[in-house]
A and B are shown apart, each in its own frame.
Chain A
Amino acid sequence: MADIDQSRIRNFCIIAHIDHGKSTLADRIIEKTGLLTQREMQEQVLDNMDLERERGITIKSQAVRTIYKANDGKEYVFNLIDTPGHVDFNYEVSRSLAACDGAVLVVDAAQGIEAQTLANVYLALDADLEVFPVINKIDLPSAEPERVINEIEDVIGIEAQDAPQISAKNGVNIEAVLEAIVEKIPAPSGDPDAPLQALIFDSIYDSYRGVIVFCRLMHGRVRKGMTISMMATGASFDVVEVGTFGAGQFIPCDELSAGMVGYLTASIKNVRDTRVGDTVTEKARPCKEALPGYKKVLPMVYCGMYPADGAKYPDLRDALEKLQLNDASLQYEPETSVALGFGFRCGFLGLLHLEIIQERLEREYNLDLITTAPSVIYKVYKTNGEVIDLTNPTNMPDPTEIEYMEEPIVKAEIMVTTEFIGAIMDLCQERRGNYLGMEYMEDTRAMLKYELPLNEIIYDFFDALKSRSRGYASFDYEMAGYKRSSLVKLDILVNREEVDALSFIVFEGTAYERGRKMCEKLKEEIPRQLFEIPIQAAIGNRIIARETVKAMRKDVLAKCYGGDITRKRKLLEKQKEGKKRMRQVGTVEIPQKAFMSVLKLDSE
């Protein structure tokens, strides 16, 4: 395996809008190239987290190496690097792209180009990748490959006439894709004899081997025993093992050389020493300069995460630490809440990212969590000239100290069939959108462009979009700076005590509406207690909405049947158990669920 002819290597990824069949195509490629027999093939090999399979989305980058014997009679090494499809994970996408030389663009023959198709294509083109299209799902009755081909040429501007028309699901025409990969994706062209220069595109932690570094070799070689150093962190290590990626397993080899994609281990105990995007070089013979790497992504959405059982705080800390090892975009720092006790303020790329992390914490680490309302980062310009980045509403300074505030704005592109344009424009209007323009993609579809405040889209914008377009609209956005805005902190008082975990920042014009909905929702969620509980929404000292949870009048088991004490006991135990799941705020017990319910105010 020592010296593989670089002309026989193809490093590529597959990009697509969610649900267009990226993972299925990846599976077919792996299957057709003989890495696995069909029997060994588990559905969607690359999505190996349970959560990924269930949601049908790819969250983490994955890599796999396979051998393809092409029609020209030669064998080619394919390194397929899978990328996440969701806008929240653009960061992961660009990481993966940097390790590739080309990209296969999968487009659904019925749905055509969607917002994320475009976003991902632009990322790939930005990374100087060769992109060629594949039309998938031609088996669908509604497939219109010709229309989609024209759309690709018109909208993206890449050649699509000879795009393979396939059905990844049924394994139709996969060979055409494999041949196109050989023909269209350029071979790497690094110098194997130059000093080592390798890009870290991912890493995972293994309790036996330490950090496993996923890397793409641009130049040079790396082998067992070599002393390497990380150019950004300066840390150096002796390589223990190098190898390539099987399906779901690591296959050791003697050496990795220029153009190859593989992994290395070097008894690295601390993941912080191997930053994704950093360049690995040989300590004794370093390369001249580091690779550009990736720009560090910053979290855009913050929320508080608290263990439902306060005693689990250390467990939550450990779990976050472990998750952060292979998800550098996750940030967290300790915070405390009067209502919820000790927890963490966590930063995420978006709401989906937040949900994914929450679910992973709950499933993989068996934690029961309370999450507070997500917040974006506001800029607060104080009268004393100070500027603060506000991620937790609780820290909002007194209004008298605030000169003005700014909120983050995104540029959104929404692709929608023409019949729903009106409905979607209404939605954007309600969300304080600023109309930028509209382009017709073809007769029946258009792309709407809006400027929207980020805090209007982090809750449920995506759901609203889907429901108002019967599922047809797709959506992508990018950050577009900050804008001055009238913002207020809305506080919730339960039995006249402020519940810090329920405070949030809201546009002044919608504060009344929000406050009223919050109070209504909380009234539903807070069970009646022995006394009457007022629930109030307030801005500063001004109460803007109020609901009342009436006092419990009756909770008595009239008859204690014969000697059936067991039944009575079960009832009381259940009651006691229910109480445990409550948070005591002053004298009122608030169920955990109530803290989360305010996230879904608009879902009805």
Chain B
Amino acid sequence: MIQKKDLAIYVHIPFCIRKCYYCDFASFVAPRQTQALYMQSLQEELKSYTPLGNHYIVRSIYFGGGTPSVLEPIYLMRVLLDIRDHFLVAKDVEITVECNPGTLSESKLQEYKALGINRLSIGLQSANDAELKLLGRIHTWSVFRSNYALARRLGFNNINIDLMQSLPHQTVEGWMDTLQKVTELSPEHISAYSLTIEPGTPFYNTYGSPEGQKELPSEEEDREMYHRTRDFLHTRGYERYEISNYAKEGYESRHNITYWVGGDYLGLGLNAASYMDGRRFTNPKDLQEYRDTARGAYARCKAAEPLTEKARMEEFMFLGLRMMQGVSEMEFRNRFRKTIADVYGDIPTKLMAEGLLKREKGRLKLTERGIDVSNGVMAEFIL
């Protein structure tokens, strides 16, 4: 019998009720008709991967967006059924749906439950209504609260809450207030990101200029928020396991960890990225182009250039370092038949001397300071 490889499947649902002012994801508002056609293409895309069915066992499925929860649950059902048709799915599979407050109802959540969806990731961003309004969110804190309570009542016992710090005009105290309120609800997992002003968004027009930047918290404040987040969540029973992710023990996101440890994942849908069999490829960003080529997805995947060993080493390092557990020196050697020192010379030593990296029990990890400037640290591992 062939040893089956673990696989994570990402399903991109690009639809939203309204686009938030900071968002630069492949997402947009679309009529039902467009949604139906899109889901049809996505099923065609999925079908093209049938030949891989024997090689993989699916460990996690993640509906991301966009706002997957705007879709009628029947679409999610079709995708899940197709996945089960073509792939072996692990008994304890983690199935996550990203949802936004204001798009959840009792019936919808009940259907999710029936489909085997066992993890919700709710985009709250802030517990402060003025901040929510500024971000262009469609919901308030109280709408979130009732959605959350509903999910709990229906038995969802693995919930992530997405939060965003360093919002315009936000103070450290304001941010701590959001954290306080959220932890009172005791979700299993919290993702806390710093707001990034991305080109092409309305926020970029407002806050992208040197003048606009003055309305954002300073770098010092941003770092203070970040460090206080870790300390505060620690006291509430959450451990930081990745730069921006915190979980109660045993509730780390299996799906996201796949990305960071170089596991195989299949991305379905608009602009979704995949990494399978040493090859990376990304679906078209243009909706029409995506739909026109969905059928040939697997053929394209096979045609992609495999990553060079150099690229694999680089990724092993810069993705692995995002995890607080860092990278294992032993594993590097097992994978590449060379030690980290063979490949990177004195770079790790230099970074350790600068206090950016540390070595513990055969693993290299970022220090707190190393996290703050991690781009610079990771860039050192580009060969």
Residues B222 and A562 in contact, CB atoms below 8 Å apart? no
Q: With A562-B10, A565-B273, A568-B318 in contact, do A557 and B375 touch (Cβ < 8 Å)?
A: yes
Within 8 A of A (CB), among B286-300: none
Contact with A along B144-177 (1 / 0, CB 8 A): 0000000000000000000000000000000000
Q: With an 8 A cutoff between CB atoms, is A559 at the interface?
A: yes
- Which of chain A's residues have a CB closer than 8 A to the CB of B315? 565, 569
- The reply to whether the CB of A542 lies closer than 8 angstroms to some CB of chain B is no
| Residue A74 interfacial (CB < 8 Å) | no
A451 to B292, CA, bound (A): 76
Whether a CB of chain A sits under 8 angstroms from the CB of B244 is yes
Which of B67-75, B232-240, B274-282 contacts its partner? Answer: B274-282
Please tell me which stretch of B37-45, B99-107, B335-343, B366-374 contacts chain A, meaning at least 4 of its Cβ atoms lie within 8 angstroms of it.
B366-374
Q: Judge whether B259 and A565 touch: CB under 8 Å.
A: yes
Q: Which A residues from 551 to 583 make CB contacts under 8 A with B?
A: 552-566, 568-569, 571-573, 575-576, 579
User: Does B201 belong to the interface (CB within 8 Å)?
Assistant: no
Contact B282 A564 (CB under 8 A): yes
Q: Mark A528-561, 1 if CB is under 8 A from B, else 0.
A: 0010000000000000000000001111111111
Q: How far apart are B75's CB and chain A's nearest CB, in angstroms?
A: 19
Give the most central of A554, A564, A566: most B CB within 10 Å.
A554
Q: Given A530-B354, A566-B282, A575-B379, does the pair A559, B371 have CB atoms closer than 8 Å?
A: no
Any A CB within 8 A of the CB of B348: no
- Chain B, Cβ-Cβ closest to A571: B375
The residue of chain B having its C-beta at the shortest distance from the C-beta of A574 within the complex is B379
Q: Does B326 contact A (CB under 8 A)?
A: no
Q: Could you tell me which residues of chain B, from 226 to 275, have a CB within 8 Å of some CB in chain A?
A: 243-244, 259-260, 265, 267, 272-275
Q: A552-B373, A555-B372, A572-B318 are in contact. Are A565 and B244 (CB under 8 A)?
A: no
Contact with A along B359-383 (1 / 0, CB 8 A): 0000000000001111110111010
Contact A569 B314 (CB under 8 A): yes
Please give, as numbers and ranges, the residues of chain A lying within 8 Å of B379 by CB-CB distance: 572-573, 575-576, 579
Does B219 reach chain A (CB closer than 8 Å)?
Answer: yes
B319: interface (CB < 8 Å): yes
B223 is contacted by which of A554, A557, A563, A573 (Cβ under 8 Å)? A554
Assess whether A556 is in contact with B373, with CB atoms less than 8 Å apart: yes
Least CB distance from B87 to A in Å reads 17
**B48 part of interface (Cβ distance < 8 Å):** no
CB <8 Å contact, B275 and A554: no
Partner among A530, A553, A559, A575 whose Cβ is within 8 Å of the Cβ of B219: A553
B42 CB to nearest A CB, Å: 15
Contact residues on B (Cβ < 8 Å of other chain), bracket = 35 or more
Which residues of B sit under 8 angstroms from A565, Cβ to Cβ?
Answer: 259, 273, 275, 280, 315, 319
Q: Write the chain A residue with the least CB distance to B273.
A: A563
Residues of B within 8 A of A569 (CB): 311, 314-315, 318, 382
A591 to B371, CA, bound (A): 24
Closest chain A residue, CB of each to CB of B382: A576
Contacts of A575 in B (CB 8 A): 375-376, 379, 382
Residues of A within 8 A of B322 (CB): 560
Give the residues in chain B near A573, CB-CB below 8 Å: 379, 382
Which residue on B lies nearest to A553, using beta carbons?
B219
A575 to B223, CA, bound (A): 21
Q: Is B376 within 8 A of A530, CB to CB? A: yes
Min CB–CB distance A568 → chain B (angstroms): 7
Contact at B220–A553, with CB atoms within 8 Å? yes
Question: What's the least CB distance linking A576 to chain B, in Å?
Answer: 4
Q: Which of B25, B193, B220, B260 contacts A558 (CB 8 A)?
A: B193
Contact with A564, one of B196, B273, B376 (Cβ below 8 angstroms)? B273
Q: Is B374 within 8 A of A557, CB to CB?
A: yes
Closest chain-B Cβ to A25's Cβ sits at a distance in Å of 50
| B375 engages A558 (CB within 8 Å) | no
CB-nearest residue of chain A to B314: A569
Contact string against B for A residues 219-239, beta-carbon threshold 8 Å, 1 for contact and 0 otherwise? 000000000000000000000
Beyond A530-B356, A556-B375, A576-B379, whether A563 also contacts B244 by CB under 8 A is: no
Q: Decide if B64 is an interface residue (CB 8 Å cutoff).
A: yes
Cα distance A547–B303 in the bound complex, in angstroms: 55
Q: Name the residue of chain A whose CB is nearest to the CB of B322.
A: A560
Mask, B56-81, CB within 8 Å of A = 1, is 00000000100000000000000000
Report the bound CA distance from A562 to B66 in whole Å: 12
- Assess the B243–A563 pair: CB atoms within 8 A: no
Please state if B272 and A562 are interface contacts (CB–CB under 8 Å): yes
B-facing mask of A289-332, CB < 8 A → 1, else 0?
A: 00000000000000000000000000000000000000000000
Point out the residues of chain B lying under 8 angstroms from A558, CB to CB: 193-194, 196, 243-244
B274 touches A563 (CB 8 A): yes
CB distance from A301 to the nearest CB of B (A): 37
Check B259 against A562 for contact (C-beta < 8 Å): yes
* Distance of B216 from chain A, by nearest CB (Å): 12
Chain B 318-347 per-residue mask, 1 if CB under 8 angstroms from chain A, else 0 = 110010000000000000000000000000
**A560, A563, A571 interface centre (most CB from chain B within 10 Å):** A563
Contacts of B354 in A (CB 8 A): 530
Instruction: Provide the bound-state CA to CA distance between A569 and B275, in Å.
Output: 14
**Chain B residues closer than 8 Å to A552, beta-carbon distance:** 373, 376
> In whole angstroms, what is the CA distance A562 to B354 when docked?
31
Q: How far is the CA of A579 from the CA of B259 in the complex (A)?
A: 27
Q: Are the C-beta atoms of B259 and A563 separated by less than 8 Å?
A: yes
Give complex CA distance A1, B134 in Å.
88
Please name the residue on chain B nearest to A529 by beta carbon.
Answer: B376
Contact check: which of B222, B244, B378, B382 meets A554 at CB < 8 Å? B222
In the complex formed, the residue of A with least CB distance to B371 is A556
Give min CB distance, A255 to chain B, whole Å.
65
Q: How far is the CB of B155 from chain A (nearest CB, A)?
A: 27
- A553 vs B244: C-alpha distance when bound (angstroms): 17
Tell me the nearest residue of chain B to A575, going by C-beta. B379
Give chain A interface residues in 63-78, CB to chain B under 8 Å: none
What's the minimum C-beta distance from A15 to chain B, rounded to whole angstroms?
Answer: 50
Q: How far is the CA of A554 from the CA of B226 in the complex (A)?
A: 11
A556 touches B243 (CB 8 A): yes
Q: Please, how many angstroms separate the alpha-carbon atoms of A120 and B380 in the complex?
A: 57
Q: Evaluate contact between B372 and A556: CB separation under 8 angstroms.
A: yes
Q: Please report the C-alpha to C-alpha distance between residue A361 and residue B107 in the assembled complex, in whole angstroms.
A: 73
Please name the residue on chain B nearest to A556 by beta carbon: B374
Q: Report the minimal beta-carbon distance from A420 to chain B, rounded to whole angstroms.
A: 35
Q: Nearest chain-B residue to A550 (Cβ)? A: B219
Q: Are A554 and B64 neighbours in the complex by a CB distance under 8 Å?
A: no
Q: Are B372 and A554 within 8 A (Cβ)?
A: yes
Write the nearest CB–CB distance from A359 to chain B, whole angstroms: 32
Chain A residues whose C-beta falls within 8 Å of the C-beta of B378 in the assembled complex? 572
A575 to B315 Cα, complex, angstroms: 15
- Measured in the bound complex, the distance between the Cα atoms of B193 and A559 in whole Å is 6
Which of A559, A562, A576 has the most B CB atoms < 10 Å from its CB? Answer: A562
Question: Are A572 and B10 in contact, with the CB atoms below 8 A?
Answer: no
Query: Quick check: A559 and B196 within 8 Å, CB to CB?
Result: yes
CA distance A213 to B25 in the complex (A): 66
Q: Can you pick out 19 interface pairs between chain A and chain B where the beta carbons lie within 8 Å of each other?
A: A554-B222, A555-B372, A556-B194, A556-B371, A557-B196, A558-B193, A559-B244, A560-B259, A562-B10, A562-B64, A562-B273, A563-B274, A565-B259, A565-B315, A566-B273, A569-B318, A571-B375, A572-B375, A575-B375
Give the 5 A-B CB pairs with smallest separation, nearest first.
Answer: A553-B219, A575-B379, A558-B194, A563-B273, A558-B193
User: Which residues on B are within 8 Å of A, measured CB to CB?
Assistant: 10, 12, 25, 64, 193-194, 196, 219-220, 222-223, 243-244, 259-260, 265, 267, 272-275, 280, 282, 311, 314-315, 318-319, 322, 354, 356, 371-376, 378-380, 382
Besides A559-B193, A560-B259, A573-B379, 6 new A-B residue pairs in contact (Cβ under 8 A), listed by A number = A554-B219, A556-B371, A556-B373, A556-B374, A565-B259, A579-B379
